[in-house]
Amino acid sequence: MSDGNDSVVLSGEVNKQADSEKVVLAIENIDGVETVDNQITVAAPSQKFHITFFIRRLAA
């Protein structure tokens, strides 16, 4: 997670942008952290979710 100095590099994948922002905020609040390089990506919405929602809506 850290590159050995006052910088932190975050990477990985989350489901929502809000999740990424929460992680960045938490890390920024750690004493000694000067900069945060946020390389976290937000996953694309699942097509299965959209299809399931559409089928449920038709059946209702």
* Chain centre distance of CA 42: 5
Domain spans, the chain? 7-59
Sequence letter at residue 24 = V
Model's pTM, two decimal places?
0.65
What does the pLDDT read at residue 6? 85
Mean pLDDT by 10 residues, the chain (60 residues): 71 91 93 90 71 52
What does the pLDDT read at residue 7? 87
